[in-house]
Amino acid sequence: MTNSTKKRVLTGSRATGMPHLGNYFGAYKPAIDLQHQYELFLFLADFHALNEHHSPAENRLNSYRMVASFMACGLNPSKSMLYAQSAVPEVNELAWILSCQVPFGVMARAHSFKDAQAKGLDINMGVFNYPILMAADILLFDANLVPVGQDQKQHLEMARDMAQRFNHHFSETLVIPEPMISETVAVVPGTDGEKMSKSKNNTIALFADDKEWKKQVLSIVTDAKGLAEPKDPDNCNIVKIFSLLGTPDEVRAMREKYLAGGYGYGHAKMELLEKIQATFGPMRDDYNHWMGRQQDLRNLLHEGSRKARHLAAEKLNAIQERIGLIGRPF
């Protein structure tokens, strides 16, 4: 593991199918980059994913895809703690303890519950209790920092409140996590200009073959300006995606060609396609390599989960001792 003097950062990812460029720039890369500066705890949030109601085969395949993606994108398990949420049952035990401290009214105000309610969904208790399980994920491992976006800020505040409530009643036991909010995390536009999302069917896959990449890039929506006309690089989906991949000089050169005219959207799409192939082609090869070794992925998760469980059991025993439970022997 990493140097224990480093601050501990904890983050998890739900396995929801084939990843796309939005997943990479919005979640995978920012999380994996943390391993160089912090003690990174990165977990497969497979219990959280159960709210998606996939088949057992899909759940298992999505978990393998998630871990293979982590590895292909540069995660080094020797510098971080990689584990599966479902392999650390102490998380759920702590979630129960925390649920006995949280008022119902607080949970009913959670964004995750209110959003599902507003959509008229058939809400299960997994959705309702989501912030408690998230808090247990964080508090069980004494996380100092938790990367969060706008949609998760309230849930982290709830985790902080739960920890403070517990500490007030049972003495200082739980670390109060701080949010790690990055202003630079990219919002990747999809092929239609909206935020890239599987639900909108506007994605560019992270590990597609060249034929599929070409099909997806060619489907990017543009205006109707002809080849000779100057074009606006600030309002073009192609340039916005290219800007995430190209060097400053490459992006500047594309912008200049847009403004000068004589450069069509077809040319820009081919440049983008070449950049996607150069950037993600090697990652795709690594991903396919790992997906052909699913037992190795399973072993990798189990190895990290055993280490995580040892830490979790120690922490849970301390928590049980504080609240007067008999507890269990190691």
Domain 8-186+293-323 in CATH: superfamily?
Answer: HUPs (3.40.50.620)
Q: What is the pLDDT of residue 2?
A: 44
Q: How far apart are CA 38 and CA 6, in angstroms?
A: 5
Q: Where do you find CATH 3.40.50.620 in the chain?
A: 8-186+293-323
Q: Could you tell me how many residues make up the chain?
A: 330
Q: Where do you find CATH 1.10.240.10 in the chain?
A: 207-288
The per-residue pLDDT string of the chain (330 residues; one tens digit each, 9 = 90 and over) reads: 444 688 999 999 988 788 999 999 988 999 999 999 999 999 999 998 888 778 899 999 999 999 999 999 999 999 999 999 999 999 999 999 999 999 988 888 888 888 877 887 777 888 888 899 999 999 999 999 999 877 678 889 999 999 999 999 999 999 999 999 876 666 799 999 999 998 899 999 999 999 999 999 999 999 999 999 999 999 999 999 999 999 999 999 999 999 999 999 999 999 999 999 999 999 999 999 999 999 999 999 999 999 999 999 999 999 999 999 987 765
Residue with tokens 């993600």: 280
Tokens of 114: 């209110």
Q: What is the pLDDT of residue 183?
A: 65
Q: What is the pLDDT of residue 1?
A: 45
**Strand intervals (E) in the chain:** 8-13, 39-44, 80-84, 145-147, 178-180
Question: In what order do the strands lie in the sheet containing 145-147?
Answer: 80-84, 39-44, 8-13, 145-147, 178-180
For residue 184, the SS3 value is coil
Domain 207-288 in CATH: superfamily?
Answer: Tyrosyl-Transfer RNA Synthetase (1.10.240.10)
Name the CA radius of gyration of the chain, rounded.
Answer: 22
What is the rounded (10 degree) CA torsion for 44, 49, 50, 53?
-140
